[in-house]
Amino acid sequence: MRLKNKVALVTGGASGIGREAAILFAQEGAKVVIVDVNTREGNRIVKAIKAKNQVAGFCRVDVSVEQDCKRMMAYAKRKFGGLHILFNNAGIMHGGDGDTQSTDEAVWDLTMNINVKGVFFGCKYGIPLMRASGGGSIINTASFVAHLGAATPQIAYTASKGAVLAMSRELAVIHARENIRVNALSPGPLRTELLMKFLNTEEKKHRRLVHIPMGRFGEAKEMAKAALFLASDESSYMTGTEFLVDGGITAAYITPE
C-alpha cells in the first residue's frame, strides 16, 4: 500500500491517464477524489472503486473556473479531511488546433484556460490544503511536446504544455521548504481517446509513430504507474523536475520509415 492514509485528488479523472491513475491510487490505499466534467463516467468509476472496498468520491468541476476549483478542495477537505496528492491532469487537445494561421483565437484561449489556468487554480487552492495536511506531492501533466515541435501541428497545446512545465519548476522552488513537492509528468504519444481523436487519420498516426523508437503508442496505464511513483514517498527527493515517459521520442535524432 504505497499511498496508505493519503488523500489524492485527480483532475480529468473520468478518462485516459486520470481514470487509470485514480483506480491505481485507490488500489494503493489512497482516498481518491475524482474530478471531471463528465458526471456519468466519474460516478461510474467511483462505483467501481467502491465495489473493491476502496475509497473514492466524485466532484463535478470545470478546472478553468476558479469557483469550481475552490469547491473541489472544499469537497476533499469535507469528505476525506485533507489533501496529500494533487494530480493536475485535466487537459484538452482541440481538433481545431493547428498552426498559427489555422488556429482560431477561441481554440487558443480554451486550450490555455483548461491546460494552464486549470493547473494554476489547482495549485492556488490545493497548496493551502496540502500545507495544512502536512505536505505532499503535486503532479502536473505536461507533455513531450514541451521539448519537441509536434510532427502534426498543435500550436496551442504545445504552448500550453511548455507553460505547465515551467510553472511546475517555479512552484517546486517556492514550496520546497514546506514539504510540498511539485513535479511534471510528460507522457509521449499515447493510445488514448484524446490523442486518437486528434490523430484521426492513418497518415497522422504514422507521422507520429515513425518518430518513436519503441515503435508504438504508450498506454494510459503506463502513465498511471509513473504518476504513482511521483505521488508516493519513493520519489521523496524529487521536486522541480520532469518525469519523461515517452517511448524514447525525445532522445531520438531520427527514426527511419
Extract the C-alpha cell encoding 147: 521539448
Those residues whose C-beta lies under 8 Å from the C-beta of residue 170, and which sit 6 or more positions away, are: none
Q: Do the Cβ atoms of 38 and 61 come closer than 8 Å?
A: no
C-alpha distance across the termini of the chain, in Å = 44
**Separate counts of helices (H) and strands (E) for the chain:** 9, 7
The residue from 75, 125, 157, 237 that is catalytic is 157
Return the H-helix or E-strand segment holding 31: strand 31-36
Place of cell 495549485: 123
Q: How is 167-210 classified by DSSP, letter by letter?
A: HHHHHHHHHGGGTEEEEEEEE-SB-SHHHHHHS-SHHHHHHHHT
Query: Can you say whether the dihedral through the CA atoms of 192, 196, 199, 205 is positive or negative?
Result: positive
How far apart CA 61 and CA 220 sit, in angstroms, is 22
Residues with Cβ within 8 Å of residue 179, at least 6 apart in sequence: 134, 135, 136
Exposed e or buried b per residue across 151-177, where buried means at least 16 C-beta atoms within 10 angstroms of its C-beta = bebbbbbbbbbbbbbebbbebbeebee
Catalytic (active site) residue 125: no
Length of the chain: 257
Extract the C-alpha cell encoding 114. Answer: 483548461
Residues catalogued as catalytic: 157
